[in-house]
Amino acid sequence: MAFDARQEDKDAALLARYGRGDAQAARELTARLTPLAFRVAVRMLGDRDEAEDVVQEAMLRLWRMAPDWRRGGARVSTWLYRVAVNLCTDRLRRRRAVALDDVPEPEDGHPGVSERMIAADRAAALEAALQHLPERQRQAVVLRHLEGLSNPEIGEIMDIGTEAVESLVARGKRALVAALGGMREELGYEHD
Amino acid sequence: MKNWGMNMTDDAKRDDRLENLFAAARSAPPEPSGALMARVMRAAQTEMRMRAAPVRDSVFARVLAVIGGWGGVGGLATAACAGLWIGFAGNVAPEGLAYGLADPSGASVELLPEAEVSAFLDGSEG
């Protein structure tokens, strides 16, 4: 936790330096925060090109608000997670509005996902399975289990209470297991 | 009827295996391309330059500066109104402009009394 606090201090200090016109601070912030926003965007959208657009927009907002950043408020990384998650949500809503019929419906057993699990590496299969989760559950599972954030921090990002986060994570994990249902043996479902 | 002991074992096993998948995903996260990193950095530099560049004054702002700001605008407006009034009331005698400057009581003060001037002139002639 102390390490996290030091990391956050560093982000806030770098942002303050960037706000005063320090290009080196911009380089360091780019290296520290772009991967974070990209991971979340790819896992939320399941599409690298769209994730890149989200990251560019989120980071542009970071650069623009740098001169107004007040230390002691939200953590820089929390702020960025929140912006990235909201941008992803907007895109997912637009997707639903534009091509509702094109969204693949999850089927019993999800053979596509399970085949990928066998053929490709497990991380890729998990990320494919994540796309079958309802949007809010996916956000909560990604932030909790892949980004390693605490429930209060996830609550801050998603603008909900800690109990609601716990509920979303629990339901998300159950949905994830269901989406990975084809891998019964791998997930210990052989006795059900 | 379910065997809860069995279910809990299954749940724990399932959670362990799910956690293994999460760990696998955490160890192989999607990484941003170099091109994306470069685009983000370029945007940072562009924003920095835009903030550093002096804001160009509009023509109005520059005129305002020449006439001495909003105080100057007030002076100009007063002068313009006075000019208009004088133009419309052109047949008024000039002394009317000084209305109120003269003593309304009609009393006057002689700065050089007439009798003393006469005496001075008489003496100089004599």
Q: Which residue has the tokens 């053929």?
A: A119
pLDDT of B1: 42
pLDDT of B13: 79
Residue positions counted in chain B = 126
> What tokens appear for B29 in the block?
């996260």
- Which amino acid would we find at residue A140? A
How many domains does chain A fold into? 2
ipTM of predicted assembly, 2 dp: 0.81
Provide the CATH number for the domain around residue A176. 1.10.10.10
A77 with A129, same domain? no
DSSP letter (8 states) at residue A106: P
CB within 8 Å: B28 and A123? yes
Distance between CA A139 and CA A132 in Å, rounded?
A: 12
A57 with A80, same domain? yes
Report if residue A103 sits inside a domain: no
A150 with A191, same domain? yes
Residues of chain B with pLDDT > 70, as a percent, come to: 52
Report if residue B26 sits inside a domain: no
The residue out of A74, A97, A120 marking a domain boundary is: A97
Report if residue B9 sits inside a domain: no
What is the DSSP annotation of A134-174?
A: -HHHHHHHIIIIIS---HHHHHHHHTS-HHHHHHHHHHHHH
Provide the CATH number for the domain around residue A24. 1.10.1740.10
Residue B4 pLDDT greater than 50, yes or no: no
Q: Which domain holds residue B51?
A: 33-102
- Which residues from A are below 8 Å from B when comparing CB atoms? 18, 21, 23, 26-27, 29-31, 34-35, 38-39, 42-43, 48, 51-52, 55-56, 59-60, 63-64, 66-67, 121-123, 125-127, 145-146, 148, 173, 176-177, 180, 186-189, 191-192
- Which residues from B are below 8 Å from A when comparing CB atoms? 6, 10, 13-22, 24-33, 36-37, 39-41, 43-45, 47-48, 51-52
Report if residue A137 sits inside a domain: yes
Helix H or strand E encompassing A177: helix A162-179
Q: What is the full per-residue pLDDT of chain A (192 aa) written as tens digits? A: 444 556 667 999 999 999 999 999 999 999 999 999 999 999 999 999 999 999 999 999 999 999 988 877 789 999 999 999 999 999 999 887 766 555 455 444 455 565 555 444 678 888 889 999 999 999 999 999 999 999 999 999 999 999 999 999 999 999 998 888 755 555 544 544
Distance between CA A13 and CA A76 in Å, rounded?
A: 10
Q: A45 and A96 in contact (C-beta within 8 Å)?
A: no
Distance between CA B97 and CA B102 in Å, rounded?
A: 11
Residue B3 pLDDT greater than 50, yes or no: no
How many domains does chain B fold into? 1
Q: Which domain holds residue A160?
A: 109-192
A37 with A81, same domain? yes
SS3 label, residue B5: helix
The residue out of A63, A97, A131 marking a domain boundary is: A97
**How many A/B residue pairs have CB atoms within 8 Å?**
103
Distance between CA A161 and CA B74 in Å, rounded?
A: 57
pLDDT of B123: 64
CB within 8 Å: B43 and A59? yes
Report if residue A91 sits inside a domain: yes
Span B55-110, pLDDT tens digits: 556 666 666 666 667 677 777 788 887 777 777 776 555 555 555 555 555 555 56
Report if residue B55 sits inside a domain: yes
pLDDT of B96: 55
Interface test with B, best of A38, A47, A65, A169 (most B CBs within 10 A): A38
Report if residue A102 sits inside a domain: no
